[in-house]
Amino acid sequence: MPLPEPQTPDWVRDAVFYQIFPDRFARSLHVSKPTHIDAWGATPTHHGYQGGDLVGVVERLDYLLDLGINAIYFTPIFQSASNHRYHTHDYYRVDPMLGGNDALRLLLDEAHRRGMKVVLDGVFNHASRGFFQFHDILENGRESAYLDWFTVHEWPINAYDYSKPPGYGAWWNLHALPKFNVASPPARKFLLDVARYWIDFGIDGWRLDVAAEIEDDDFWREFREIVRVGNPETYIVGEVWRESKHWLQGDMWDAVMNYLFTRSCIAFFCGENTNLEELATTSFRTLDPTGAPAFRAAIETLLEHYHPNINAVLMNLLSSHDMPRFLTLANGDLSSLRLATLFQMTYPGAPSVYYGDEIGVSGGHDPANRAAFPWHDRDGWDRELLHEFQRLIALRREHSALRRGSFRFLHANDDVIAYSREDSQESLIIFVNTSTETKQVTLNLDGRLAAINALNEAWTHERIVVENGMMRDVRLAPRSGRVFATSIVS
């Protein structure tokens, strides 16, 4: 029996996310810190802390508001002996170095007061060696009361000698990350209770770390039911780098981090200029076919994977904490980032900006992609790039068709694409030229677009007359994009 039409949170259609790595975004003087932490802006390392915290984020919320952000996704914030906090010690305690639970309360209140949503990272596949129930196994061995929370293969288990296997189920066989046995009723209940607790606390959604590693569909169905009882508009987004139809039928998750989108954008907007050495460090490994026809084929295939209600809430990203920054993959070419961001902000789904991308922060593979936000070096910000991000985000927020309208390619040849976004109120046609040469394009409009008499460019307000459905001789400067909008003539 087929599932009913998937229902996804309405607010995500209007969201522009900002992804924050808490240790590296902003440090407040109002949160005490241990003494042995790195200087803010020091070269990032795998293990060193730079002391960012949630109160620091609160103090920068107006910066995000000015950027146009209305949703934040945080990588993990719960107590952990790691700067990335994917090694969770206590799922009910916000890390004291981040300001503790009181700081999260303040953040949620201040974000919600500004109309911003907050999504947290849920690390439910694995815990850490310091997680109490696993630590009990380390201390008590076969006599541990929590033995069924994890899967032990051999005794004695080996948690610290990396020259030997751990002897227990662990993510990617990493000793530091013992994998939960979600088939264990008490472990399962613990994780589902955690998920519901923070929804009741006031968060707006969960991003699910390595979610495909929990190969138990009933767990995810229970997860969805439990958090949706707490908040029917909870956003559930999984981290999967491949096609994800299995989980996106309406009974488990709402969306995934759309890395297939990212991969296609690298191939088209960076193209042959892509830093292949850095790309090889990602899960993508190699560069997809370049050029406009290949990009069109990739995007149309991606859209065909999922129901429109799913496509409308996929988290569309260009960079993240798990890959080199887009600007680095583009070998520092700002035009690649600008054009990719134009597409990102005019494409269905929820755009996600990785902290610092908007001012030109670069960085290769982890840990270089996790540098401190340069509040200490504002002279080094790329202000023109920042203004471009503000302009593109504002464009998205001003036009309902960019958030909720249909998407259709109108042209894809050589290095030029054109596509439409339409709803009942308006039509937009967007052109992107990734060539280093000027291009001139004529479009033969059909369907509802053929009823248009004229279009106005979004920023310059240049007017182009449409005659008999023909949009003639649109001039595109090298490495540029143009956006035209109009109300549909009925």
pLDDT at 434: 98
Task: Please give the Cα distance from 83 to 66 (Å, whole number).
Answer: 28
Q: What is the pLDDT of residues 307-334, one digit of tens each?
A: 999 999 999 999 999 999 999 999 999 9
Q: What is the pLDDT of residues 391-434, one digit of tens each?
A: 999 999 999 999 999 999 999 998 999 999 999 999 999 999 99
**Any idea where the domains of the chain sit in the sequence?**
10-125+180-398, 405-486
Q: What is the pLDDT of residues 214-271, one digit of tens each?
A: 999 999 999 999 999 999 999 999 999 999 999 999 999 999 999 999 999 999 999 9
Place of tokens 């039928």: 249
pLDDT at 71: 98
pLDDT for residue 490 is more than 80: no
Q: Is the whole model's pTM more than 0.85, yes or no? A: yes
CB atoms within 10 A of CB 177: 23
Mean pLDDT of 86-101: 98
239: annotated active-site residue: yes
pLDDT at 448: 86
pLDDT for residue 182 is more than 90: yes
pLDDT at 2: 63
Mean pLDDT of 17-35: 98
209: annotated active-site residue: yes
Q: Which CATH number fits domain 10-125+180-398: 3.90.180.10, 3.40.30.20, 3.20.20.80, 3.90.230.10?
A: 3.20.20.80
Q: How confident is the model at residue 486 (pLDDT cuts 50, 70, 90)?
A: confident
CATH superfamily of 405-486: Golgi alpha-mannosidase II (2.60.40.1180)
Rounded to the nearest integer, the mean pLDDT of the chain is 97
Angle, vertex CA 278, rays to CA 272 and CA 282, nearest 5 = 105
- Provide the sign of the torsion angle of the four alpha carbons 318, 320, 326, 329, taken in this order: negative
Angle, nearest 10°, between helix axes 100-113 and 185-201?
A: 50
Q: How confident is the model at residue 488 (pLDDT cuts 50, 70, 90)?
A: low
What would the two tokens of residue 152 be?
Answer: 């032990």
pLDDT at 487: 64
Q: What is the pLDDT of residues 298-313, one digit of tens each?
A: 999 999 999 999 999 9
Q: What is the pLDDT of residues 340-370, one digit of tens each?
A: 999 999 999 999 999 999 999 999 999 999 9
pLDDT at 1: 54
Catalytic residue among 209, 357, 358, 422: 209
pLDDT for residue 76 is more than 50: yes
Angle, vertex CA 264, rays to CA 12 and CA 249, nearest 5 = 45
Cα 186 off chain centre by = 31
pLDDT at 347: 98
